Amino acid sequence: MMLLEEMTWTEIEAGFEKTRTVILPVGATEEHGPHLPTFTDTIQALEVAKEVARRRPVFVAPPVHYGVCRSTRGFPGTISISPEALRTLVLDLLFAFRDSGFEKILILTGHAGGQHLAALKEASEKAVASKDIRVSLVSDFDLIDTRDVETPGDGHAGEIETSRMLVIREDLVKGLPEKHFPPRPRYLIMRDVRHLMGNGVMGDPSKASKEKGKRFMEMSVQGVLEALEELESYPSP
């Protein structure tokens, strides 16, 4: 497994004989209910990337630990950055990867907020328009087949994420709270929604299990493997 942070430059150069593709995990530092740690989004993406790297030659970069967190602002532990900051950071990283010898980058985000994803997409589009580089953008949460999820509309810190954390870091899961779906206006633009968020859960953690977590993790791994195949084999224009 080729983890950039643990490798010397000579080992990385030797690794280029196998691949010039790198996965960049992107997460967030954000509340995840009263039962999950604030690096939940980050560690899910990182662990999927590591498992992919065990099965296929690919580098795994150190993760980006901060993202755009709109709904959970105001909770202790949510450290959000602006869309502009995320876009600039990721664009700089994409250029730096190319300058360092990497040719293909798969951004794997474990955080799926709308503004967060938009910033990553804009950075990716600008990068491919400016340099000879190939970029794929994958949202980890979107790789889960919802037909295998008991909770309709399950989301933040719910059945899916809690199940996965039981597999990744069970020691950090502080119980299985009851379901909570915060009432949110459909169209109204609000400055702050903290008063609507309750305990910070948007789903049903009580339905979580380690068995489900293993299935959900494998879905993500297979999805990333498919995305890598596309990234590395798609014909050049």
Nearest to 66 by CA among 33, 47, 41, 49: 41
Residue 138 has pLDDT above 90, yes or no: yes
**Beta carbons within 10 angstroms of residue 115's beta carbon:** 15
Run of H or E including 188: none
Retrieve residue 39's tokens.
Answer: 């690096």
Percent of the residues in the chain that have a pLDDT greater than 90, as a whole number? 93
Mean pLDDT of the region 131-158 = 95
- Give tens-digit pLDDT for 101-111: 999 999 999 99
- Give tens-digit pLDDT for 83-99: 999 999 999 999 999 99
Question: Residue 192: CB partners within 8 Å, gap ≥ 6?
Answer: 73, 74
CATH of 19-232, one of 3.40.1550.10, 3.90.1150.10, 3.30.930.10, 3.40.50.10310: 3.40.50.10310
pLDDT higher at 194 or 55: 55
- Give tens-digit pLDDT for 149-199: 999 999 999 999 999 999 999 999 999 999 999 998 989 988 888 889 999
Mean pLDDT of the chain: 96
Residue 132 has pLDDT above 90, yes or no: yes
The domains of the chain are located at: 19-232
Burial code of 8-34, b = ≥16 C-beta within 10 A, e = fewer? eeeebeebeeebbbbbbbbbbbbbbbe
**Beta carbons within 10 angstroms of residue 237's beta carbon:** 3
pLDDT value, residue 184: 84
Nearest to 38 by CA among 86, 83, 81, 80: 80
DSSP-assigned letter for residue 135: E
Q: What phi-psi label fits residue 188: left (phi over 0), alpha (psi between -120 and 50 degrees) or beta?
A: beta
Retrieve residue 53's tokens.
Answer: 């790297």
Residue 237 has pLDDT above 80, yes or no: no
Percent of the residues in the chain that have a pLDDT greater than 70, as a whole number? 100
pLDDT value, residue 191: 86
